[in-house]
């Protein structure tokens, strides 16, 4: 709620009390932007007060409107249509609001963190160390990073975490394939990023494994038998057993190949512009999970079957029974997540935990929430699984084992190159040095990628179309970036004007009022984005603001305006639009070039 809306709401509360002897809360006053077909700037919904007043909606609206107008708070006129009180706000109030926003500058819309602020831990990325990051990981990382920044903008303390899945049969598959077919190849000798090299051997394992299955089936085994009996799979399982037993040779190979992957991941994260405050490793937390499950077994939270396996009975919660420890004592993913949660809880005073994980894991986190609550974690019951939809290309789904994934590094490089080509064709890089052109192409290419993904409701599946994302018109990152660059160019031409001075006595036109209203809504949008855990709320607001400004820029002169005070007002308004566009895109992890 803007300061103008808050002031009106306060007066409505007083009006209803004085006119109808009805005490209401300010939160019950509904104020919205007046619809375009009616005269006015802000509309108060009258219906909640009609019953107490025992009068028609239009009469109640007229009485409240008259009462408010007499308070001299800047209401220049009003009208009532079918129970809606439409208020016209004087230019002076809008100017005051613009002055107030300008004074706050880049801090407008953001709340400050305090010592008492809630601590929110957000887990995202969660890669496996047997392959490089792909398009699906990009959506995960962009969502997790953006939600983190949005929470910070709402005054929360935020800890960004990553759990690396660095153990298990899938890791052993890459290791075994490298042992058998690698001939000592390294990232240095192959000139490949380490995560790409390890991923190649994951694909290599699958290729040889499928051939073994085919041969065994030709010898009369069923497909299921062949999959179990294939020599490669048996060797991978044996390697995993050796790893769990602490075999020095296997552990040494595991450490070497995992380090290759970590180095590769670090480069990808850097290029994508995401980071973490704390990284956890499954190899270090899975044993903690086993300890927690055994504690739960002793206290009766879990139970043990005759074969020695440990289970949780969730039937009273409308679910089934969940395996936590296998008969041979080995853990499952749920056990590992309990261990990681236990470690995090001991290290941080967590108030809220958000897991950014795809919607195929909905059941998993439903169960995890119940189990953590039973084990005594105060935030367990309220943990948030930020469940997002899958991302595909127009060609369809991706499969890691078959090597058909869209590699994150390749996609980013392609987006940057495409941005450079299109920007050059449109003349947006003219007059810039090679270094400046490359930097702008990077910002535009990555901005296009990030915005296209983040503007979609995160809970929906989506198709990422690289060609559609790099368009300087329409609901795209480059369109918003270009709007920002256009304003920065305008401001460079107007450096002689003092835009820090307070404005007064300027009459605004309809579009200027609409722009100030749209800008003022940024505070509400930032709060809404946190409430809904949705970067899409920020993205689509930003597009609407950029679109509205461009229309204004097209319709009205700014530098050529003859009236000095109007010119300064329009420059100040433009500057504030640029500030909000940059702040909003910052929350999406998108950089804004000053030149394009």
Which residue is listed with tokens 């790893």?
243
Alpha carbon of 582 to those of 105, 144, 267, 546, 587: distances in Å? 11, 19, 25, 11, 9
DSSP letters of 50-89? HHHHTS-HHHHHHHHHHHHHTT-SSEEEEEEETTEEEEEE
d(CA 200, CA 205): 9
Instruction: Classify the C-alpha dihedral 355-360-366-372 as positive or negative.
Output: negative
Report whether 522 contacts 111 (CB < 8 A): no
pLDDT, residue 472, reads 87
Q: Number of H helices and number of E strands within the chain?
A: 22, 14
d(CA 38, CA 364): 51
Alpha-helical regions (H) of 348-476:
362-374, 408-425, 434-454, 466-469
Checking 65-74 for CB contacts under 8 A at 24+ apart, the result is: 67/11, 67/15, 67/18, 67/19, 68/8, 68/11, 68/12, 68/15, 71/11, 73/7, 73/8, 73/11, 74/4
Checking 140-143 for CB contacts under 8 A at 24+ apart, the result is: 140/356, 140/357, 140/358, 140/388, 141/269, 141/272, 141/274, 142/272, 142/274, 142/450, 142/453, 142/454, 142/535, 142/588, 142/589, 143/356, 143/386, 143/388, 143/454, 143/458, 143/535
Q: Where are the domains of the chain?
A: 3-89, 277-406, 409-587
Query: Quick one: which of 74, 77, 69, 104 has its CA closest to 92?
Result: 74
Report whether 72 contacts 29 (CB < 8 A): no
At residue 582, the 3 state secondary structure works out as: helix
Question: Which backbone phi and psi does 395 adopt, to 5 degrees?
Answer: -75, -15
d(CA 104, CA 143): 28
pLDDT, residue 400, reads 41
Checking 551-560 for CB contacts under 8 A at 24+ apart, the result is: 551/511, 552/511, 552/512, 552/515, 553/486, 555/511, 556/509, 556/511, 558/490, 559/490, 559/493, 559/494
β-strand partners of 313? 321
How many CB atoms are closer than 10 A to CB 209? 21
Class in CATH terms, 3-89: alpha beta
Which CATH code is given to the segment(s) 409-587? 1.10.730.10
Which residue is listed with tokens 């052993």?
172
The token pair that represents 411 in the structure block: 């996609």
HEC-encoded secondary structure of 408-433: HHHHHHHHHHHHHHHHHHCCCCCCCC
Exposure of 480 by Cβ count < 10 A (0-12 exposed, 13-18 middle, 19+ buried)? Answer: buried
Rg (CA), the chain: 30
Question: Which backbone phi and psi does 399 adopt, to 5 degrees?
Answer: -135, 120
Report whether 416 contacts 442 (CB < 8 A): yes
The token pair that represents 571 in the structure block: 């420059």
Identify the H or E element spanning 279: strand 278-281
DSSP letters of 474-530? SSSHHHHHHHHHHHHHHHHTTTTS--SSPP-S----HHHHHHHHHHHTHHHHHHHHH
The token pair that represents 200 in the structure block: 């190649």
Identify the DSSP state of 112: P
Query: Quick one: which of 265, 118, 126 has its CA closest to 187?
Result: 265
CA dihedral 412, 416, 419, 420 (to 10 degrees): -160
pLDDT, residue 435, reads 94
Which CATH code is given to the segment(s) 277-406? 3.40.50.620
The token pair that represents 575 in the structure block: 């500057």
Which residue is listed with tokens 């987006």?
415
95 contacts: CB under 8 Å, gap ≥ 6: 503, 504, 506, 508, 569
Q: Say whether 277-406 and 3-89 share the same fold.
A: no
Exposure of 61 by Cβ count < 10 A (0-12 exposed, 13-18 middle, 19+ buried)? Answer: buried
364 contacts: CB under 8 Å, gap ≥ 6: 333, 334, 337, 357
β-strand partners of 85? 44, 80
DSSP letters of 177-224? HHHHH-TT--HHHHT--HHHHHHHHHHHHHHHHHHHHHHHHHTT--HH
User: Digits of tens for pLDDT over the chain (596 positions)?
Assistant: 788 999 999 999 999 999 999 999 998 999 999 998 999 999 999 999 999 899 999 999 999 999 999 998 999 999 999 999 999 999 999 999 999 999 999 999 999 999 999 999 999 999 999 999 999 999 999 999 999 999 999 999 999 999 999 998 999 999 999 999 999 999 999 999 999 999 999 999 999 999 999 999 999 999 999 999 999 999 999 999 999 899 999 999 999 999 999 999 999 999 999 999 999 999 988 889 999 999 999 999 999 999 999 999 999 999 999 999 988 887 888 998 999 999 999 999 999 999 999 999 999 999 999 999 999 988 888 899 999 999 887 765 444 444 457 899 999 999 999 999 998 988 888 888 999 999 999 999 999 999 999 999 999 999 988 888 988 888 999 999 999 999 999 999 998 888 887 887 889 999 999 999 999 999 999 999 999 999 999 999 999 999 999 999 999 999 999 999 999 999 999 999 999 999 999 999 999 999 98
Identify the DSSP state of 393: B
Report pTM: 0.91
């Amino acid at each position: 709620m803007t300061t103008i809306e808050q002031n009106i709401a306060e007066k409505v509360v007083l009006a209803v009390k004085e006119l109808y002897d009805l005490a209401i809360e300010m939160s019950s006053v509904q104020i919205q932007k007046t619809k375009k077909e009616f005269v006015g700037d802000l509309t108060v919904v009258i219906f909640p007060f009609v019953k107490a007043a025992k009068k028609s909606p239009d009469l109640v609206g007229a009485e409240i409107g008259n009462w408010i107008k007499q308070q001299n708070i800047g209401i220049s006129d009003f009208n009532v249509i079918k129970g809606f009180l439409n208020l016209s706000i004087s230019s002076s109030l809008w100017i005051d609001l613009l002055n107030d926003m300008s004074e706050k500058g880049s801090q407008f819309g953001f709340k400050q963190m305090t010592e008492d602020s809630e601590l929110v831990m957000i887990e995202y990325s969660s890669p496996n160390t047997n392959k490089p990051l792909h398009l699906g990981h990009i959506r995960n990382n962009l969502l997790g990073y953006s939600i983190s920044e949005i929470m910070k903008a709402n005054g929360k303390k935020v800890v960004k975490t990553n759990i690396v899945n660095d153990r298990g049969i899938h890791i052993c598959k890459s290791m075994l394939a490298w042992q058998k077919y690698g001939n000592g190849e390294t990232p240095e000798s192959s000139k490949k990023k380490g995560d790409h090299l390890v991923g190649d051997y994951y694909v290599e394992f699958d290729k040889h494994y499928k051939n073994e299955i085919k041969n065994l089936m030709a010898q009369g085994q069923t497909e299921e038998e062949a999959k179990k009996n294939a020599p490669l799979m048996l060797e991978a399982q044996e390697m995993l057993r050796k790893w769990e037993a602490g075999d020095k040779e296997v552990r040494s190979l595991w450490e070497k190949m995992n380090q290759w992957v970590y180095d590769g991941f670090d480069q990808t994260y850097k290029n994508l512009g995401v980071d973490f405050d704390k990284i956890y490793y499954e190899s270090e937390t899975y044993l903690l999970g086993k300890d927690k499950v055994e504690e739960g077994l002793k206290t009766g939270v879990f139970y043990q079957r005759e074969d020695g396996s440990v289970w949780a009975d969730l039937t009273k919660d409308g679910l089934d029974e969940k395996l936590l420890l296998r008969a041979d004592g080995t853990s499952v993913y749920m056990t590992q997540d309990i261990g990681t949660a236990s470690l995090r809880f001991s290290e941080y005073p967590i108030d809220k935990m958000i897991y950014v994980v795809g919607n195929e894991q909905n059941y998993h986190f439903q169960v995890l929430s119940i189990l953590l609550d039973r084990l005594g974690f105060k935030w367990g019951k309220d943990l948030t699984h930020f469940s997002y939809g899958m991302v595909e290309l127009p060609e369809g789904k991706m499969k890691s084992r078959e090597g058909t994934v869209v590699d994150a590094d390749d996609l980013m490089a392609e987006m940057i190159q495409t941005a450079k080509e299109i920007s050059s064709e449109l003349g947006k890089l003219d007059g810039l040095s090679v270094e400046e052109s490359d930097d702008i192409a990077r910002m535009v290419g990555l901005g296009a990628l990030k915005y296209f993904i983040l503007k979609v409701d995160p809970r929906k599946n989506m198709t990422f179309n690289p060609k559609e994302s790099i368009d300087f018109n329409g609901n795209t990152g480059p369109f918003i970036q270009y709007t920002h660059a256009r304003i920065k160019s305008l401001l460079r031409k107007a450096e002689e004007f003092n835009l820090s001075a307070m404005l007064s006595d300027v009459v605004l036109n309809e579009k200027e009022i609409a722009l100030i209203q749209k800008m003022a809504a940024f505070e509400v949008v930032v709060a809404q984005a946190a409430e809904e855990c949705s970067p899409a709320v920020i993205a689509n607001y930003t597009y609407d603001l950029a679109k509205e400004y461009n229309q204004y820029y097209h319709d009205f002169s700014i530098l050529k305006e003859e009236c000095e005070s109007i010119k300064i007002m329009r420059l100040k308004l433009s500057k504030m639009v640029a500030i909000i566009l940059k702040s909003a895109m910052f929350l999406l992890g998108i950089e804004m070039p000053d030149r394009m």
